[in-house]
Structure 1
Amino acid sequence: MNATLLHDIIFYIMYFALAIALVIIIERAISFAWTWRQARQLEQALTPQVRQINALPAELLRRNSLPLSMIQPIMLHKNQHNAQSLNDMVETQYLLSKPQLNRGLWLLETIVTAAPLLGLLGTVMGIIDTFKALSASGVSEPSLVSAGMGTALYATGLGIAIALIALVGNNYLQSRMDRIGELLKVLLIRAAGSALPLPDAADNWAENGAQRYA
């Protein structure tokens, strides 16, 4: 394959990887901001007195958000008084939220690893192309060699720059995702707690009286 063509293809791939990284960072940042806002509003609305999903504010129920979709099955499952079953539902809903939060982040991690390697490959191809051109033309002018080497080394610099952008974006999104995950776990625990029945005063009196006179 022509070294010049391969060198150009590597540059196009790196530019495409940079565009993908920026799109993922922006999309995930907006999505995380929306999810965080909805989770905070649900946290404030989900008090111990709220025992039905319909008791939540209507404006929260109208919004299709990840936090609401997570607590809905638990709130609707309130008639089952088995605490172990509710704990299993909490864990299940929490695990199901992970793929939605992680969407696209694996691409950022891949770009962090692949971008410097692509840059190094582009540099190697550029050096090969430079020496081929010099040997074919028989020119031994040092300035021409320097110009060709500078173009080749630009690929390495571009690859490192893309990797740094993707790395910073990925670390920021990972920290945001961890905070959102903790808040979602709090919401699930609150939903499970509000799903448990309130103790009946008469039943408590009868139970205490039975224990007292046993």
Structure 2
Amino acid sequence: MRTLSLHKFPLMVALLSLGLAQPSLAAESLTSKAKTAQQQESQHNADREAEFKKQEQQLAVRKAELEKRKAQLDASIESLSTAFSDNERTLAEQQKKLHLETGSLGELFGVVRQSAKELQVELDHSVTNTEQAKQIADINGIVAAKTLPSIQELTGLWRAYQAQIASSATYANIQVPFVAGNGEITQLDAVRLGNFALLSNHGPIDWDGKLASDFPRLPKNVPTSTDAAGVVTGQTAALIDPSRGDIYKQLADNPTLTERFEHGGIVGKIIAGLFALGMIIALYRAAVLITTEQKINKQLKSPNTPTDNPLGRVLSVYNSEKQLHVEALELRLLESIMDEQQHLERGLSMLKLLAALAPMLGLLGTVTGMIETFQVITQFGNAEPRVMAGGISMALVTTVLGLITAMPLLLAHNLLSSKAETIRNILERQSVGLVAEQAEAQTIEHKEAYAA
């Protein structure tokens, strides 16, 4: 064991010396790296400082250039402001001078433009605008002008007036674009009467300045294109609208009785049905009562031969029951009169019911129409009369129909009731007379029997 330790001792000494030498070598390496890094950082900072100084010099040069440019702009602004002020003064002086020199020409310009605008509107709606393209262009130029009109423009205005006046005294065959009811646009042969009417082969047509179309409604005996020559010469009498169709258009705003009835809707049709039913009942009952009255008058002339009529039936009851006592006979006659009265007044209660029901249905139509009107207002959010026309028409028409139905039915009910009452009075008078005769006869018999 000791021998082995002596052999290992030199190796241990060598290892120990190597371990002590390694820290000093590491320290020297770190110092060298630190110095190298410090030198690199110093060089980098020096480069950055040089770059900053270079940029500073460039910015200084740019600043000097901008300051120079600013000074130039300030000088230019000052110069322009002075020139603007001078120009303003010069313009004011020139405008004052122009106003003094033109004098009343400014008023003339206003009159010319106003006349040109009126003629422009006239030509836009005239049936001759397809033949006066040159005049329309001249008028548009005058209206759009901002300066005094020239002699050429004034001459153009005069010529446009002259052409319009000349065209009002002529008629000509022309072709116009026509819009059919299905929306199709075709070329239509028409005759121009002056500058206010267009006639086609089916009558006058409407012209809006660009397209022609049919009027909603035309009166009777309107001229056609074949009548144009006769109308111009005065040989053909015809209705011509000189207002370029305004009167024809107003005809559409005046509905016929049929159209007004259609405005009443389903309620109006029901009221009309009630009116027809009531009038049928009234006419039938009137015929029955008149015939009955004639038969009764004929029966009054021959009371001993009863026939088939109310008075004849009462007389038949009297002849068959006259052996009864006066009170019993009176009751039997009264019963017969009541039966006849029931037949005479048949249907009159229905007339009275229809007369009372018609205004109520009219009120129903009124309420329904107003509800429709308010629904339209709710949907469209405005009170446009054309939008509300349908509901208002229904509301008013049904009220009128109800009143028109009620009045004749009430009158018929009153007349027929009076007629039935007259016939009933005749029957009562005759029955009272018969009872009186029977009472006198029985009194005489009693007296004779008592005397005997």
Q: Could you say if the C-alpha distance between residues 140 and 88 of structure 1 is closer, same or farther in structure 2, counting changes exceeding 3 Å? A: closer
Give the C-alpha shift of residue 111 in structure 1: 1.6
1:71-82 matches, within 5 Å, as 71-80=315-324, 82=325
Q: Distance in 1 between matches of 2:420 and 2:376?
A: 50
Bigger Rg, structure 1 or 2 = 2
Task: Compute the TM-score of the two structures, normalised by the length of structure 1.
Answer: 0.76
Aligned counterparts, 1:1-214, within 5 A: 8-46=265-303, 50=304, 56=305, 61=307, 64-80=308-324, 82-136=325-379, 140-193=383-436, 198=441, 207-208=450-451
Quickly say closer, same or farther: Cα 1:201–1:73, change in 2 above 3 A: closer
Q: Which amino acid is the alignment partner of residue 16 of structure 1?
A: G
Identical residues among aligned pairs (%): 24
CA distance in 1 between counterparts of 2:323 and 2:448 reads: 23
Q: Secondary structure at the match of 1:103?
A: coil
What is the rounded CA distance, in whole Å, between the counterparts of 1:187 and 1:27 in structure 2?
27
For the residues of structure 2 that align with 1:198 and 1:163, how far apart are their CA atoms? Answer: 52
State the shift of 1:86 in Å.
0.7
Question: Amino acid of the residue matched to residue 417 of structure 2?
Answer: Q
Structure 1 residue 185: Cα displacement: 1.1
Indicate if the aligned counterparts of 1:75 and 1:191 stay in contact, CA closer than 8 A.
Answer: no
AA aligned opposite 2:402: G
Q: Distance in 2 between matches of 1:86 and 1:140?
A: 75
* Closer, same or farther: CA 202–28 of 1 in aligned 2, 3 Å: closer
Q: Residue 12 of structure 1: CA displacement?
A: 2.7
Q: CA deviation at 1:139?
A: 6.4
Separation (CA, whole Å) in 1 of partners of 2:421 and 2:346: 14
Query: Matches of 1:197 and 1:142 in 2, distance apart?
Result: 80
> Residue by residue, what CA displacement relative to the aligned partner does 1:31-86 show, whole Å, maximum 9, x if unpaired?
1111111111222222xxx4xxxxx1xxx63xx32222232122111233x11111
TM-score, normalization: structure 2? 0.38
TM-aligned CA distance change 1:171 to 1:206, over 3 Å:
closer
Where in structure 2 are there 5+ consecutive unaligned residues?
1-263
| Distance (Å, rounded) in 1 between the aligned partners of 2:280 and 2:445 | 60
State the alpha-carbon separation in 1 of the partners of residues 425 and 318 from structure 2.
Answer: 17
Paired residue total:
189
Question: Does the 8 Å CA contact 1:17/1:111 hold for their aligned counterparts?
Answer: yes
Distance in 2 separating the partners of 1:27 and 1:145 = 42
Counterpart of 1:3 in structure 2 is none
Pairwise CA RMSD of aligned residues? 2.8
**Cα distance change on mapping 1:201 and 1:10 into 2, 3 Å:** closer
The 3 A distance-change label for structure 1 pair 106 and 200 is closer
Q: CA–CA distance in 2 between the matches of 1:142 and 1:133?
A: 11
Does 1 or 2 have the higher relative contact order (CA < 8 Å, sep 6+)?
Answer: 1
* Partners of 1:198 and 1:87 in 2: CA distance: 15
Superposed displacement of residue 166, structure 1: 0.8
**Cα distance between partner residues in 1 of 2:334 and 2:398:** 46
**Do 2:373 and 2:391's aligned partners in 1 also have CA atoms closer than 8 Å?**
yes
Structure 1 CA distance for aligned equivalents of residues 412 and 339 of structure 2: 24
CA shift in 2, pair 1:71/1:126, >3 Å: same
Q: CA deviation at 1:203?
A: 8.3
Distance 1:174 1:73 in 2: 25
Deviation at 1:133, TM superposition (A): 3.8
Check conservation: 1:112, 1:163, Cα contact below 8 A. Answer: yes
